[in-house]
A and B are shown apart, each in its own frame.
Chain A
Amino acid sequence: MPGASVICLIWLFSDGFDWARVGAMNHAKYWFRYLCSCLAGLILLDVAADGAAPEETEARRSDRDWWSLQVLSDVSLPDLPDAPPAWRSNPIDRYVIARLIAEGLEPNPPADRRALIRRIAYDLTGLPPTPEEVAAFVHDSDARAYEKLVDRLLSSPHYGERWGRHWLDVIRFGESRGFERNEIVRDAWPFRDYVIDSFNQDKPFDDFIVEHLAGDVIGRDRPDVEIGSAFMTIGPYDDVGNQDAVAAANTRAATVDDMVTATSGAFLGLTINCARCHDHKFDPIPTEDYYRLKAAFDGVSHGSRVLATRAEREHLDALKGPMLQKREALAKARSALEKEILDRSGAAASMDLGQRPPPSASRTEEQWVPVEARYVRMSVLSQSDNPGSGVGARMDEFEVWTGGDAPRNVALASGGAGVSGVAGAEAKDFDGAYSVELVNDGKYGARWFVGNPPVLTVTLPRIETIERAVFSHDRMTESNSPIAGLGPMVTEYEIEVSMDGVSWMKVADSTGRRPYNAALARRRALRTATGGEQVELDRLEMEIAAVDAGIRKMPALPTAWMGNYHQPDGPTRVFHGGDPMKPGAPVLPASLQVFQGGLDSYELPADAPEGERRLALARWIANDGNALTLRVLVNRVWHYHFGTGIVDTPSDFGFLGGRPTHPELLDWLAHRLLQHGWRLKDLHRDILLSQTYRQSSGFRAEAAQKDADSRLLWRFPSRRLSAEEARDTLLAVAGKLDKRQGGPGFRLYEYKQDNVATYVPLDRPGPETYRRAVYHHNARASVVDILSDLDLPDNAFAAPHRASTTTPLQTLTLLNNRFVIDMAEGLCERVSASVPGSPEESVRRAYSLAFQREPEDVEVMAGATLITTHGLRAFCRAVLNANELIYLE
C-alpha cells in the first residue's frame, strides 16, 4: 500500500523528524510509530475513498514562472468611464481607482492642507513643518501650491536624512560589530553620510547598487564612490577568534552568509539564504545558486581601511618621511650605545645578578627582623612583561604575617585590615572586577590589576609585630611563571612599614633576587652605565620621544569601516547541508538561474579576480533588464510613502512573500523608474502628485468592512511617527534641534568596553545629542530611551518593514524620561519667549508649535487651568505626550 506508506512517512517527518537523531534514539519506538501510522494511513485512505475526490491542492511553492521573476509586462492603462475626473489623468490613480471600482469602493476626498503638509513634510524630510510653513501653504492661492511644496521638500537636504535612513534599515546598517564582543565601530559614519548624500544628489540607483558591491573596483582614487562598498561589511560578524578549526570555518561561513543574505534581500527581494543548506523549499533557487552568489564575497572580510585619494596619501608620506628617517637614526644610535654598555658589563647574558631565587608566580616570600607597624606598603617596580614599570602587574593575594608559634595573616579584610591601591583596569559595569580588595579577601583566583602609581598600602587593624610578607600572582598554580592569559606578575618591588603612614622604613626588596627574565637582566645591566653614558642615553630617549610625539600629531589619513579584500585560495564549493566541513562540487562565480529571459546571465572562471566577481554581480543586479530589482525598488518607494507596499513583504518577492495588490501598477512604476534613469526623485514626484497620495485619511466604516487596512487605498493610511521622527519632533518642537549634518554620530549610551562591550543608556543626554536621530551611533544590541521604545529595529537583521507598537513602557519613557522633561522645558522657553501674556495665549502658542493648529475652546480652558495650577512645564509635558504629536493623518 504505497499511499499509506507515504502518509506515515509524512507523519513521521511532521514531528520534525531528523535523521541525526535516529542513531541516538530507540529504534523500536520509531518502528512502532511507523507501523501505527501505516495503519492510520490505511484507515484514512478508506475514508477518503468513501468521500468526494480530494480537491486539487494549491501550489506549495513557486517555480520559474513565478510572477516576480518575469520580464516587466507591457502595461496598458485601464479604461475608466466611471471614475471621478480627477482620478483619470495620473496613471497611478487610474490603476488605483480601477481596483477600487472593481471592489465597489470609492476613494476619499482630498486631505485638507494642514493634514497634507504635515503628511508630506514628514514623508520627505522626517521633520514637522513649522507653523509658518503650514500657514503659508494653507493660504497659498497659487494653483501650483502643492507642486511647489513637493519640489521644495524634494530638494531639502533633510530629504536624504529621511530616505537614507530607510535605506539603512534595508541594509542592516549598524555601528558595532555584533556578537559577543560587539566592539563599537567608530568609522562607519562615512558610509552613513554617503547614503544620505547619494539620496540628496538623486544618484541613479543602478549606480548606487554597483557602488555598494564594487565601489572599490570602479572608484579607485575616488573615496566618495569607494565608500559604497562598505555595504558588504556593515552587518554583524563574530570576531571572537576561535581556535577550534571547525568552529572557525563555521564562523567564516556565517560571516559570508550575512553578505549573501543582505545582497539578495536588499536588491532582489529574494531569500537566497534559505538555499544555503538545501535547495530553496519555496522558491526556484537551487543550492548551487547560493554558492554562485557566495563566490562573489569569498574574498571580503570586515575591517577598517584608509579612505583617501592617492594625492592625500602621497602628501602625508612626504610629510612623514623625514621624521621617520630621523627616528630611525636616533634609534640606531641608542642601540649602539646600549650595546657598548652591555658588552662592557658582560652582564647582559648572565642571569646571575643575585643570590636568592627570582620571584615566583605561585608564591614569593620576604622576611625581615620583627618590627612593630600599623602600615605596610609595597611598591611594584617592574613586572614580567615590562622591566621598566610595575603598572599592569597582577596579584591575587598579599599577606602580612606575625611571628611566633601561631603566626597570623594580619592583612585579611575579614580581620579588619584595609587595602588601598589604584586598579589598572576598570570593568565599569561592575566596579570590583579588578580592584585592590581582591588581594586581601582570603580567596585566590581573581586578581588586582596594578594601576598607576603601582603601590599597595595595607592598613592593619592595630599595631602588630610583623616579620613576613607573602604575595602571589596565582597561588594555586604550581608554576613559577604566570599561566598564559593571566597577565604579568610582580618581578621587582620594595616593601616598607610605618607606624603613622607618614614616615616609612624599608624592610625588604627584590635586589638580592636573581632577575626574573632576560629583559630584566638587561635592564639591570644598563644601570651600570657611566655618568656620561647615562646623560647620552637620556638625551636620545628624549629626542625619540619628541619625534614620536611629532609623528602622532600629524593628521592621520581618514579610515572607514569598509572591509578588506583578498583573492580566495581555491574555487568556491557547495557546502552540503551548509556545513563547511562537507565541501562538495565547485561552482563558478555566476548569476542566478531563476529568470525567464530579458536578462543576460554571466559566468566567470573559477579563478576570476574577486573584485571582478563583485562587479559582474553588481552589473547583473543593477541591469535595466533585471525586472526583479526594479520591482523590488519601486515597491520600497511605495512602501515608505503609503506604509505598506504593493507587495507587503518588501524584501521577499518569493512564494512566502505577499502578492501584489496592483501588479500592473508595480510594473508601470518599474517602467517609469527606467524612464527616469533610475532616479528616485522623479518617481516620488509621480506618486506625490497623485490623488491617491493626496486623499484624506478619513475613516469610513463601510469601506473598512471591505478593506480594513486600506490596502486598496480608499483612504490614505494614517500612521504613527517612526522612532527617529518622534525624537526629532520633540527636539524641533522644543526649539532644540541641532540640524548640523554628517560626521561622527552622537551616542545615547555610555560605551563600556572590558573584553566585551556594554552599552548603558544615558540618564540625561545633553545638547550634544540634540542632532537628528539618523546621526545616532546605532550600535547593535544597545537599547536606548525613546528610540528603542518606539521600535527602532534591532539591526542584527535587515528591517525592510518597521513595527509600530503601543506599549505602556513607551508611555513611561515619554512621561518620565529626563530628556522629555528637558524638551518640555525647551518648549516652555519658546512659548514664554514669544508670548509673555496669559495662560490662554501660552496654550495657543504651544498648540501652534506642536500641532500647527488653533486649540479648541475646551483645550484652551483646560490647558490654562493646568498652567495656572502647576505651571507651564506641566502643560508642555502633556503636549509632548499627546497622540496628536506623533500620529499623522
Chain B
Amino acid sequence: MTNHALDLNRRQFLSQMTTGFTGVALAHLLGGETAGATGGRAPQYPGRAKQVLQIFCPGAASHLDLWDYKPELEKRDGEQLPGEEGFSSFQGVNGPLMRSPWPFRAAGASGKMISSMLPGMARHVDDIAFLHSMTSRTNTHGPGCIFMNSCFTREGFPAAGAWVSHALGSLNDNLPAFVAIQDVRGEPPNGKANWSNGFLPAQHQAVAMAAHQPLRNLALPEGVGLGEERDTRDFLALINGRHAERHPGEGELRARIQAYELAARMQLSAPRVADLSLEPAYCQEAYGTRDSNRLKAAYGRNCLFARRLLEQGVRYVSLYCASRASSVDGLLNWDAHRTLKADYERHCPVFDGPTAALLDDLKQRGMLDDVLVLWTTEFGRMPTRQASTQGRDHNPDAFTCWMMGAGVRGGVSYGNTDEFGRRSVEDVCSAYDFYATVMHLLGLDHQKVTYYHNGADRRLTDVHGHVIREVLS
C-alpha cells in the first residue's frame, strides 16, 4: 500500500507537527532516534547513568534489622529510650528498646556491618553507597510509599520514573520507558499511585507487568489469527491513511497511525522479553526461580525479568519485593509491628538471594556501567518495641536507602542515625536529596526538569533537594 502521507520520513514528520504536545509524544514514541530533535530527550549534561533499577521493599523495611548496625541498641536492650520514655507513634505507645533478633557481621573489604539475615547482600557491600540518614514526611505507609516514589505524600504527582521518562524518553521503541514490576502478593500501599504519571502526559506512566502478569491487552483477541491480524491492520492503515490525507496538517492523526505500528512491534518484543525460559539453567538456579519457597521463586523470576527489561533498554524499572498492608502484618510486607522475628525470617530469604543474584548478574554483564540501582523503602522502624509486642512501630525520622552501580561510589556509608537509630542526626537527607542525586547521575538538573500544573511549575523534588556528592564516584 502506498500512501504519500505515510511516506514521510520520521524527521520530516516531526517537523510537521502542529502541536507541541504531539511532537513530544511522538518523539517519545520514536525514542533515541530523535534524541535532541525536540529538546529534552538528551540529558542536560553528560550523565553517568542511562537506566535505573529501583528495588522497593514496601511496609517500611527496618533499617535496624537489615542495614544500620547499632551496638548501643544491643547493649541496652530492655531499657527505656532515654528522653522518650513511653512515647507515642503511629500505632500508639512504645515500650523499651529492643535489639535486633539477629547478629550483624562485618562484610567485604570495607568491613561494613550488615545483618546476618542478608548473607547474599553481604557480598555487595563494597559496591553500595548506604544512605543511613534518610527521613520521611509521613509515618503512614501509603503516603510514605508515594513520597519515596514522587516526593509528595498525596497521590496525583508523577513518580520519579515518570519524570525520567518525561525528561529522557525511551531507549527502545518497542517497550515502554517505565515498567513497574509488582510483587506476586499484590500492589504496594497506595497501589498504582506509586507509578503514576500524575499530571504528566499518559505515556509516562509505568506499564505494570511482571513475570506472573503479562502486559495487558497485548495478546491477540480469541479467534483472531495472524493472517486476519495482518489484513485488519492493513485495512486500518488504508482508511487511516485516506483520512489523514483528507486532513492535512493534523499531526495527531499521523502520530496515531505510528502508534499502531509501534504497538505491533511491541506485540513481538514484549512476550520475548517476558519469556524467562530463554534463560539458561544456571541462571534460573542463581535467581532461585524454581525455589520451593513460592514467594522467593516469584520474586526471583521478577528479578530475572527486571534484568531482561534493562537489557532491552527500558529506562526505569521499579521492582517490588512485598506488597500492601494486610489485615494482619507478617506475610504480605515488611510491616513488622508485632512479631518482627517471625516476619523477617519470612521476608529476608525471599529478598536476599534473588536480589544478590540480580546484582551479581548485572555486574558480570557489565550493565552496572549504565544502570543505577536504588534500594528504597518508605520509612524506618523504631528502636523500641511497640508496647506489649515483639515488633517495631513506624519511624519516619530515620531509615536507610542505598544506591549502587553507574556513577556511585561503593563501600560508602553516608549520614548517621543516633546511637539507637531513633533519629537521623548527621547529614540528614530525604527523598528530595535522594532524587536530586538520581537525576544528577542521569545528567539532569533536578531543578530544571519542570512541568506546569494547576498554578505551579512542578518538579520531582518540589522546592527542595541537594545532590549528595559524597556518594558519587
Q: Which residues of A are at the interface with B, using a C-beta cutoff of 8 A? A: 15-16, 18, 21, 24-25, 178-182, 236, 238, 240, 242-245, 247, 250-251, 254, 265, 271, 274, 394, 396, 425, 427, 429-430, 432-434, 438, 443-447, 474-477, 479, 483-487, 649, 651-652, 654, 656-657, 699-701, 704, 708-709, 718, 720, 754-756, 758-759, 761, 780-783, 785, 788-789, 791, 794, 796-798, 800, 803-813, 815-818, 821, 856, 858-859, 862-863, 866, 869-870, 874-875, 877-879, 881-884, 887, 889
Complex A-B: 30 CB contacts under 8 Å: A24-B426, A180-B142, A238-B140, A247-B138, A254-B154, A265-B455, A396-B342, A427-B186, A433-B326, A446-B346, A474-B338, A476-B390, A485-B337, A485-B338, A652-B454, A654-B455, A656-B452, A699-B18, A699-B249, A708-B18, A781-B193, A794-B199, A803-B21, A806-B256, A807-B25, A807-B202, A808-B259, A812-B218, A858-B238, A878-B232
Q: Are A805 and B25 in contact (CB under 8 A)?
A: yes
- Choose from B186, B247, B259, B465 the contact partner of A16 (Cβ within 8 Å): B465
Asked if B239 and A878 sit within 8 Å, CB to CB, the answer is yes
Nearest residue (CB) in A for B87 is A244
- A178 and B454 form a contact (CB under 8 A): no
The answer to whether A446 and B330 touch (CB under 8 A), given A796-B193, A816-B221, is yes
Q: Measured between alpha carbons, how far is A699 from B29 in the docked complex, in Å?
A: 25
Nearest-CB residue, chain B, relative to A795: B156
Quick one: given A800-B454, A859-B238, are A486 and B29 in contact (CB under 8 Å)? no
> What's the minimum C-beta distance from B88 to chain A, rounded to whole angstroms?
6
CB contacts (< 8 Å) of B250 on chain A: these are: 699, 718, 887
Give the size category of B's interface with A: 35 or more
| Contact, CB under 8 Å: A781 / B155 | yes
B268 is an interface residue with CB less than 8 A from chain A: no
- Say yes or no: A797-B199 contact (C-beta < 8 A), given A16-B466, A808-B263, A812-B267: yes
**Contact mask for chain B residues 247-260; partner A; CB cutoff 8 A; 1 contact, 0 none:** 11110110111011
Q: Which of B140, B244, B455 contacts A649 (CB 8 A)?
A: B455
Instruction: Note all chain A residues with C-beta closer than 8 A to B337.
Output: 485
- Per-residue contact bits, chain B 190-201, to A (CB 8 Å; 1 contact, 0 not): 111100101101
CB of A414, distance to nearest CB on chain B (Å): 9
Contacts of A815 in B (CB 8 A): 217, 221, 260, 263
CA separation between A483 and B323, bound complex, in Å?
23
In the assembled complex, the Cα of A236 lies from the Cα of B154 at a distance in Å of 9
In the complex, whether B389 has a CB less than 8 A from a CB of chain A is: yes
Chain B: minimal CB distance from A828 (Å): 13
Cβ A657 vs Cβ B324 within 8 A: no
Structural contact, B143 and A805, CB atoms closer than 8 A: no
Residue of B nearest to A396 (CB): B342
Residue numbers in B under 8 Å from A758 (CB-CB): 186-187, 191, 324
Which chain B positions have C-beta within 8 A of A754? Answer: 326-327
B263 touches A874 (CB 8 A): no
Contact B267 A755 (CB under 8 A): no
Query: CB distance B190 to A433 under 8 Å?
Result: no
Does the CB pair B140–A242 fall under 8 Å?
yes
- In angstroms, Cα B140 to Cα A785, docked, is 30
Q: At the interface, yes or no: B312 with Cβ under 8 Å from chain A?
A: no
Tell me how far the C-beta of B196 lies from the nearest C-beta in chain A, rounded to whole angstroms: 6
What residues of chain B lie closer than 8 Å to A859, measured between beta carbons?
238-239, 242
Residues of B within 8 A of A238 (CB): 140, 142-143
Contact between chains at B156 and A805 (CB < 8 Å): no
Q: How far is the CA of A652 from the CA of B452 in the complex (A)?
A: 11
Q: Closest A-chain residue to B140, C-beta based?
A: A240
B residues 127-182 touching A (CB-CB < 8 Å): 138-143, 153-156, 176
Q: Identify which of residues 400-444 in chain B touch chain A, using a CB-to-CB cut-off of 8 Å.
A: 425-428, 436
CA distance in complex: A827, B29 (Å): 32
B92 on the interface (CB 8 Å rule)? Answer: yes
Q: Which of B71-79, B363-371, B456-464 contacts A (4 or more CB under 8 A)?
A: B456-464
A718 touches B247 (CB 8 A): yes
Q: Which residues of B contact A874 (CB under 8 A)?
A: 224, 228, 231-232
Q: What is the minimal beta-carbon distance from B180 to any residue of chain A, in angstroms?
A: 11
Is residue B184 within 8 Å, beta carbon to beta carbon, of the partner chain? yes
Q: How far is the CB of A772 from chain B (nearest CB, A)?
A: 22
Chain B residue numbers with a CB within 8 Å of A782 are 192
CA distance in complex: A502, B343 (Å): 37
B38 at the interface (CB under 8 A from A): no
Given A758-B191, A882-B239, also A803-B202 (CB < 8 A): yes
Q: Which among B242, B331, B426, B461 has the highest number of chain A CB atoms within 10 Å?
A: B331
Instruction: Report yes or no: A785 in contact with B217, Cβ–Cβ below 8 A.
Output: yes
Q: Which residues of B contact A700 (CB under 8 A)?
A: 249
Contacts of B44 in A (CB 8 A): none
Give A797's nearest chain B residue, CB to CB: B156
User: B1-38: which have CB < 8 Å to A?
Assistant: 18-19, 21-22, 25-26, 29
9 interchain residue pairs of minimum CB distance: A180-B142, A445-B342, A699-B249, A796-B156, A271-B455, A429-B186, A446-B331, A808-B263, A652-B455
Q: What is the bound-complex CA distance between A708 and B153, given in angstroms?
A: 38
Are B328 and A708 touching (Cβ within 8 A)?
no
Partner of A699, one of B247, B266, B466: B247
Distance A286 CA – B218 CA, assembled complex (angstroms): 52
Expressed in whole angstroms, the Cα–Cα distance for A785 and B174 within the complex equals 21
Q: Is the CB of B343 within 8 A of A445?
A: yes
* B473 beta carbon closer than 8 Å to chain A: no
Given contacts A245-B88, A859-B238, A883-B244, contact A809 B187 (CB under 8 A): no
Please give, as numbers and ranges, the residues of chain A lying within 8 Å of B390 by CB-CB distance: 476-477, 483
A contact residues around B455 at 8 Å (CB):
265, 271, 274, 649, 651-652, 654, 656-657
List, in ascending order, chain B residues with CB within 8 A of A649's CB.
Answer: 452, 455
Task: Determine whether the beta carbon of B327 is less than 8 Å from that of A789.
Answer: no
A697 and B189 CA atoms in complex are apart in Å by: 46
